[in-house]
Amino acid sequence: MDHKAYIAERLHVAGVETQEIYASLAVPPDTSLGDYALPCFKFAKVLHKSPALIAEELAQAFPTDGVVSSVSAVNGYLNFKMDRMHLFETFWAEFTAAEMESGYGSSDMGGGKTVCIDYSSVNIAKPFHIGHLSTTVLGGALYRIFNFLGYRAVGINHLGDYGTQFGKLISAYKRWGNREEVERGGIHAINDLYVRFNSEATEEMEAEAREYFRLIESGDREANELFNWFKSLTLSYVGKIYDRLHVTFDSYCGESFYIDKIPAVVEKLKEKGLLVESRGAQVVDLEKFGMAPFIVLRSDGASLYATRDLAAAFYRKETYGFDKCLYVVAYQQNLHFQQLFKVIELMGEPWAKDMVHVAYGMVSLEDGAMSTRKGKVVWLEDVLSRCVEKAKQILSEKNPDLGDKDGVAEKVGVGAVIFGALYNNKIKDTVFSYDKALNFDGETSVYVQYTCARAASVLEKLTDTPFWSGENVQPNEREFELVKALASFPDTVRAAAENYEPSMIARWCVDTAQIFNKFYIECRVVNAETEELRRFRKTLTETANRTLRRALGLLGIGVPEKM
RNA sequence: GCGCCGUUAGCUCAAUUGGAUAGAGCGUUGGUCUACGGAACCAAAGGCUAGGGAUUCGAGUUCCUUACGGCGCACCA
């Protein structure tokens, strides 16, 4: 039930549309004031009365009932208090109905529309470092959130599998590497070869690398065998990390996939008269729009990253017929995407407006930017294993008799890593430190998981108690706050999708867990004063537990029953 | 130089998109323990929202400007 609509329909302000009233309804800063509020200041001019007077008159005229229990005018605001029991009834009705279907908070607002999400996009032969975390967990969360809201999400891992660096890699491998070593050392062994090449490269070696890259492109058997070997090593390596982070993809079409689709796009650019020569290169001039030119073909005729992205955009539109296409990529590439989207627009494609760059902030280390060459890198698997290790250690201290310690520690440790990357607004830069990563206190997933474990522990003792079924109880402040927090979950999920901001869900988790813990401390459930109260509180505990679990699940974080 | 982004408590961050007294966590100080799980709860201290203008009933939020920081600006990805 839409309470705002209920209020708006019953509120009549001369010369003001119900729609506008609906949109103006806000939430007061303090619950004691009310549950909804209408600021009356903007009506003052039209009605030629003071806001305070308008609010008072409206308060007098408003018909209170079993839904809106009281209305009051304070400082030009019209405050509405909802009937607590009614609020809980409608919440519980919606919750049970939704849980029978796809879960509370889900909806069909997407109507099956397709959203392509380009995220993570690993580079072949490069291990996963802490800088890859954001795109991976942000994209993974958006993927789940959009599906939850009735969209059809298509996860795309736009592999970095094309470029002269792979020529360098083959050159380095043939020079210093061997099969046993790479099989033993995996992706790090490959990366070491690449790093060594870059530090020792001479003119001749660079030329050799270019030649090897040419061989890959021209279909040379040995070069391609090596390259495909590196590729499969990389994919099985990242696959393990994706499994731990609960991230999935529907497509692994990388850059090389689009090479043969470039000529058609170039042809289209020519047809539209957009392609001009500049300093030997083929470019789209964007000076009118205050941007550097978009280089389509280098002066030697080769394609660029941008060209492949352009071809990929057209391919995705044709293949998936998306209604939205998201690129979860750091803000470093702001200009690139502005150019890309502008070029698509200039080509006359109406879907240019559906392209969205979901930009996020950069990660650095405490002593500056990361640098693979200088060895200043933090590998993601190290962070994961250290967090899981710490979780295991705390577990054996606090809960030595717990079964499946490994499974629980994995959920706690990995969850903390994911949550840490999703808790703040995505645009903020972050400085990685093990101190922060290993902190399980305060506003963390561990706190939320612990809250769920507490709730589960209560519920375990109440298996014979039925759920609330209409008994009249008067919710107290704690219970009421909890109901309101839980009832705000669907709106939170929607807002997270609209703003491409999973942190809104992460924030909701911590807020709601805090409210639950207050409820837990102050309100006995198992030994509640009456049977009705026990049922009511069991129901609250159940809905809190399930909704918190679902919320963390949307972020890719598992919740153990006990911890 | 030009463009984009950021700046809120000692630290890390919120603030329902222009609403009422700017909120959390960490840290600090002091409480709650014979408990439905203390990985918890309560309380205190801590703010001219980087500075200055403007817009209006009302600005952390919009506009202009200055400072500081980050990123980007032609054949890398």
Tens-place pLDDT, residues A16-61:
888 889 999 999 998 889 999 999 998 988 888 899 999 999 999 9
Q: What is the pLDDT of residue A371?
A: 78
> CA of A486 vs C1' of B10, distance in Å?
34
Task: State which residue has its Cα closest to the C1' atom of B13.
Answer: A424
> CA of A328 vs C1' of B40, distance in Å?
37
Backbone angles phi, psi at A303, to 5 degrees: -85, 165
Q: What is the pLDDT of residue A15?
A: 82
Nucleotide nearest to A443 (CA to C1'): B25
Q: What is the pLDDT of residue A376?
A: 83
> CA of A314 vs C1' of B75, distance in Å?
22
> CA of A81 vs C1' of B4, distance in Å?
44
Nucleotide nearest to A488 (CA to C1'): B16
In one-letter notation, the amino acid at residue A508 is W
State the CB neighbour count (10 A cutoff) for residue A508: 23
Task: State which residue has its Cα closest to the C1' atom of B69.
Answer: A429
**Strands A275-278 and A281-284, bridge-based pairing:** antiparallel
Q: What is the pLDDT of residue A2?
A: 86
Nucleotide nearest to A278 (CA to C1'): B74
> CA of A17 vs C1' of B57, distance in Å?
21
> CA of A322 vs C1' of B11, distance in Å?
44
Task: State which residue has its Cα closest to the C1' atom of B77.
Answer: A305
Q: Count the helices and strands in chain A (H runs, E runs).
A: 21, 12
> CA of A392 vs C1' of B50, distance in Å?
43
Predicted structure pTM score = 0.96
Find out if CATH 3.40.50.620 is the number for domain A114-365: yes
Helix (H, G, I), strand (E, B) or coil at A223: helix
Task: State which residue has its Cα closest to the C1' atom of B58.
Answer: A41
> CA of A54 vs C1' of B64, distance in Å?
35
- Strands (E) across A61-146 are located at 68-74, 77-82, 114-118
Q: What is the pLDDT of residues A374-427, one digit of tens each?
A: 778 999 999 999 999 999 999 999 999 898 999 999 999 999 999 999 999 999
Query: Of A515, A395, A508, whose CA–CA distance to A145 is shortest?
Result: A508
Q: What is the pLDDT of residue A157?
A: 98
Query: Of A331, A329, A282, whose CA–CA distance to A309 is shortest?
Result: A329
> CA of A137 vs C1' of B12, distance in Å?
20
Task: State which residue has its Cα closest to the C1' atom of B75.
Answer: A298
How far apart, in whole angstroms, are the C-alpha atoms of residue A65 and residue A70?
Answer: 8
Paired with A68 in beta bridges are: A82
> CA of A420 vs C1' of B14, distance in Å?
15
Q: What is the pLDDT of residue A47?
A: 87
Nucleotide nearest to A28 (CA to C1'): B20
State the CB neighbour count (10 A cutoff) for residue A379: 16
Task: State which residue has its Cα closest to the C1' atom of B71.
Answer: A332
Backbone angles phi, psi at A291, to 5 degrees: -125, 155
Nucleotide nearest to A450 (CA to C1'): B39
Query: Of A154, A159, A158, A157, whose CA–CA distance to A320 is shortest?
Result: A154
Backbone angles phi, psi at A98, to 5 degrees: -70, -35
Q: Do domains A114-365 and A381-555 have the same CATH topology?
A: no
> CA of A279 vs C1' of B63, distance in Å?
40
Q: Give the domain A3-82 fold.
A: Gyrase A; domain 2 (3.30.1360)
Domain boundaries, given as residue ranges, for chain A: 3-82, 114-365, 381-555
All residue ranges of chain A with pLDDT < 50 are none
Q: Which two tokens stand for residue A5?
A: 């609509």
Q: Within its chain, how far is the Cα of A279 from the centroid? A: 41
Nucleotide nearest to A515 (CA to C1'): B41
> CA of A430 vs C1' of B6, distance in Å?
12
Q: What is the pLDDT of residue A372?
A: 73
Q: If you search the block for the tokens 């019209």, which residue do you land on?
A: A78
Q: What is the pLDDT of residue A254?
A: 94
Nucleotides of chain B touched by protein CB (<7 A) = 2-6, 12-17, 19-21, 23-27, 36-42, 57-58, 70-77
Q: What is the pLDDT of residue A32?
A: 87
Query: Of A554, A552, A555, whose CA–CA distance to A563 is shortest?
Result: A552
> CA of A419 vs C1' of B50, distance in Å?
30
Nucleotide nearest to A39 (CA to C1'): B19
Nucleotide nearest to A160 (CA to C1'): B77
Nucleotide nearest to A34 (CA to C1'): B20
Nucleotide nearest to A453 (CA to C1'): B37
> CA of A29 vs C1' of B56, distance in Å?
22
Q: Which two tokens stand for residue A340?
A: 């890309």
Q: What is the pLDDT of residue A135?
A: 97
Q: What is the pLDDT of residue A196?
A: 92
Nucleotide nearest to A303 (CA to C1'): B75
Contacts by residues A226-234 (CB-CB < 8 Å, ≥ 24 positions apart): A226/A170, A226/A173, A227/A124, A227/A166, A227/A170, A230/A124, A230/A125, A230/A166, A230/A169, A230/A190, A231/A124, A231/A161, A233/A125, A233/A182, A233/A186, A233/A187, A233/A190, A234/A122, A234/A124, A234/A125, A234/A126, A234/A187, A234/A190
Sheet holding A77-82, edge to edge: A36-39, A77-82, A68-74
Instruction: Spell out the residues 6+ positions from residue A348 whose beta carbon is closer than 8 angstroms to its own.
Output: A272
Q: What is the pLDDT of residue A462?
A: 95
Please state the CATH superfamily assignment of the domain spanning residues A381-555 in this structure.
Answer: Isoleucyl-tRNA Synthetase; Domain 1 (1.10.730.10)
State the CB neighbour count (10 A cutoff) for residue A386: 15
The interface pTM score, or ipTM, of the predicted complex is 0.96
